[in-house]
Amino acid sequence: MMQLSRRQFLKVSAGTVAVAAIADKALALTALQPVVEVDNPLGEYPDRSWERVYHDQYRYDSSFTWCCSPNDTHACRIRAFVRNGVVMRVEQNYDHQTYEDLYGNRGTFAHNPRMCLKGFTFHRRVYGPYRLKGPLMRKGWKQWMDDGSPELTSDVKRKYKFSSRFLDDMLRVSWDTAFTYVAKGLIVIGTRYSGEAGARRLREQGYAPEMIEMMKGAGVRCFKHRAGMPILGMMGKHANTRFNNCVLPLLDSWIRKVSPDQAQGGRYWNNYTWHGDQDPSQPWWNGTQNCDVDLSDMRFTKLNTSWGKNFVENKMPEAHWKLESMERGARLVVITPEYNPTASRADYWIPVRPETDGALFLGASKIILDENYQDIDFIKGFTDMPLLVRTDTLQYLDPHEVLKDYQIPDFTKSYSGRAQGLTQEQVQRLGGMMVWDLAKGKAVPLHREQVGVHLAQSGIDPALTGTYRIKLLNGREVDGMPIYQLYTIHLQDYDLDTVHQVNRSPKDLIVRWARDCGTVKPAAIHNGEGVCHYFHMTSMGRAAALVMMLTGNIGKFGTGCHTWSGNYKVGIWQAAPWSGAGASVYLGEDPWNLNLRDDVHGKEIKYRK
């Protein structure tokens, strides 16, 4: 073996490294490719193989469309793209212009795009680690069932954690076990609250006599059903209601041994009455459960007021309508306690203390009346403000009290019966009303179809102000006052200083908004779900609608006082005239024709006659 000193090793190593370096450089020079001259790099590129990486990200085997409902009611139609049996991505389907209702009305391209970040990431939830893939049962509830379902006294509730469910464990069970225990629970509760023994238990638990009477002796009436927001589609809502109205009557028939015509179902509490999502004032002032429009109607609005509604964050699929309002020059106002993203884009934001909104609207109404911004023709023709109210009872003055042999006309073949579906019996229950006719100088009857042009054709000129002495058939004389006059008296309590003291809203903004409502038309208010939960929302919602009624901003394109849902509906609504304080109706120029021009879609809206 040859021995090398350290000095010799270093000399040899240095030479070897040098030769290798020279050889490497020579090989490198021969391996170089000539430079390719490219005049326009955007038009051509010598090697585009790297693009395959990005193209492959969007490659898919198949696709399908579906309605997205993560936890809201928008139900956007979107398209999912599948590769190897897995949804890789989703995007908007851009087909709203193809949607059509039973009457042939189609959607508009303007609805596109319609989707939000919740939908874009929904497939991640489907494949996520926390997705519920089978039934879970509360350990304490299962034990309660196994122990014979003892009466739920305070001690029993504590023992089985009915009063502390959040501390209990959840057990994974099979579907057969889940169905068996649910069936047992239905039988136990339905039996326990049926008959007189059930009524006694309900009385002991503090139920009102009227509620117990409505039970009709059936314990299954204790079951209250409501479809949750994510399942408001065909399967969720229909399956829930069919179970409520089909399965439970069968159970009641078995428990009480009654015939099918006596069997009772459960109680279905929808998103209005149970969950409280929608504005509870709507039935009072417009006669419908919910007043709403196709949100494309926002493009006509010139004064767009969001009340307790954060469009940008909480109405993401529909927020582009708000942006289009801005693009079209609309004035945006936001009324909320917090300065939210929608408020940051508004022309002005009116901060308000929670649950004092009613004072703001009544204060604005007073300013509108004091400064003569009200629309007198609209108020007379389309609201209940001319109707006479007895000052002694605060009830409508009934023509039957004043006119001998008065009969309410038969509406079965006219608009009330033909379009609104009212029977003559229902019309009789609604009763009649009277106004003070300035032309005749006396109280005259007014029926429900004398609205708008039909009121003008009748020759009646109803008074809005004043107090009038009226003689009844029984010989008594009472004072009658138009609802409009009652409002002017009521609003005296809502001067600017008082309103500011109540809700702390800046005085100048209260005045500005009131004047805008009276001068910038068309105007609309859209309220959010949060205010719908206010304890006094019935009063506050009616106060908001009053602002729109006084200024004639009801029933026309770009107007209205609408609650939060605002998804996809026909862009015109009709309400029963005189259906409650501040009731209003708009039926186009010819309510008997019912063919209205829809400038959003560029076509006629046809209604079934």
Give per-residue pLDDT as tens, 272-315. Answer: 666 677 888 988 898 887 887 888 888 899 999 999 988 888 88
Angle at 307 between CA 301 and CA 313, to 5 degrees: 90
Provide the residue count of the chain.
Answer: 609
pLDDT confidence tier of residue 581, bands split at 50, 70 and 90: very low
| Percent of the chain's residues with pLDDT above 90 | 59
Residue 427: is its pLDDT beyond 80?
Answer: yes
Give the pLDDT of residue 3: 63
Distances (CA, A) of 165 to 141, 226, 589: 9, 21, 59
The mean pLDDT of 257-262, rounded to a whole number, is: 94
Which domains does the chain possess? 59-126 (2.20.25), 387-488 (no CATH)
pTM of the model: 0.78
The residue type found at 98 is T
User: Which of these ranges, 124-128, 344-348, 465-469, has the smallest mean pLDDT?
Assistant: 124-128
Residue 9: is its pLDDT beyond 60?
Answer: no
pLDDT confidence tier of residue 578, bands split at 50, 70 and 90: very low
Q: Is 569 exposed, middle or buried, given 0-12, 13-18 or 19+ CB atoms closer than 10 A?
A: middle
User: Which of these ranges, 69-78, 139-148, 249-258, 443-452, has the smallest mean pLDDT?
Assistant: 69-78
* In the block, residue with structure tokens 């010598």: 46
Give the three-state DSSP class for 289.
coil
Residue 348: is its pLDDT beyond 50?
Answer: yes
Give the pLDDT of residue 63: 96
Residue 558: is its pLDDT beyond 80?
Answer: yes
User: Which of these ranges, 311-320, 396-405, 564-573, 593-602, has the smallest mean pLDDT?
Assistant: 593-602
The mean pLDDT of 58-85, rounded to a whole number, is: 87
The mean pLDDT of 314-331, rounded to a whole number, is: 88
Q: Are 342 and 304 in contact (CB under 8 A)?
A: no
The mean pLDDT of 455-477, rounded to a whole number, is: 96
Question: What digits encode the pLDDT tens for the residues 584-604?
Answer: 333 333 333 333 333 333 343
Does residue 6 or residue 545 have the better pLDDT?
A: 545
Asked whether the CA dihedral 513, 517, 520, 526 is positive or negative, the reply is positive
Give the pLDDT of residue 402: 96
The mean pLDDT of 521-548, rounded to a whole number, is: 93
Does residue 23 or residue 315 have the better pLDDT?
A: 315
Residue 572: is its pLDDT beyond 70?
Answer: no
Residue 571: is its pLDDT beyond 50?
Answer: no
User: Which of these ranges, 170-179, 373-382, 522-531, has the smallest mean pLDDT?
Assistant: 522-531
Distances (CA, A) of 265 to 40, 193, 222, 244, 554: 75, 14, 9, 6, 39
User: Which of these ranges, 256-265, 345-354, 560-569, has the smallest mean pLDDT?
Assistant: 560-569
The mean pLDDT of 206-234, rounded to a whole number, is: 84
Q: Phi/psi class of residue 320: alpha, beta or left (left: φ > 0; alpha: ψ in -120 to 50)?
A: alpha
User: Which of these ranges, 57-66, 110-119, 355-364, has the smallest mean pLDDT?
Assistant: 110-119
Q: Are 496 and 367 in contact (CB under 8 A)?
A: yes
Does residue 339 or residue 125 have the better pLDDT?
A: 339
Give the pLDDT of residue 52: 86
> Which H helix or E strand runs over 415?
helix 415-418
Give the pLDDT of residue 125: 86
Q: What is the mean pLDDT of the chain?
A: 85
pLDDT confidence tier of residue 472, bands split at 50, 70 and 90: very high
Give the pLDDT of residue 452: 92
What is the distance between the alpha carbons of residues 295 and 264, in angstroms, rounded to a whole number? 40
The mean pLDDT of 449-454, rounded to a whole number, is: 93
Residue 197: is its pLDDT beyond 80?
Answer: yes
Give the three-state DSSP class for 146.
helix
Q: Is 403 exposed, middle or buried, given 0-12, 13-18 or 19+ CB atoms closer than 10 A?
A: middle
- For the ranges 1-15, 179-193, 562-576, the one whose mean pLDDT is highest: 179-193
Residue 562, token pair as written in the block: 């609408």
Residue 569: is its pLDDT beyond 90?
Answer: no
Give the three-state DSSP class for 446.
strand
User: Which of these ranges, 224-233, 379-388, 589-598, has the smallest mean pLDDT?
Assistant: 589-598
Q: Are 587 and 391 in contact (CB under 8 A)?
A: no
Give the pLDDT of residue 580: 32
288: number of Cβ within 10 Å? 14
pLDDT confidence tier of residue 31, bands split at 50, 70 and 90: low
User: Which of these ranges, 31-40, 125-134, 455-464, 596-605, has the smallest mean pLDDT?
Assistant: 596-605
Residue 329: is its pLDDT beyond 60?
Answer: yes
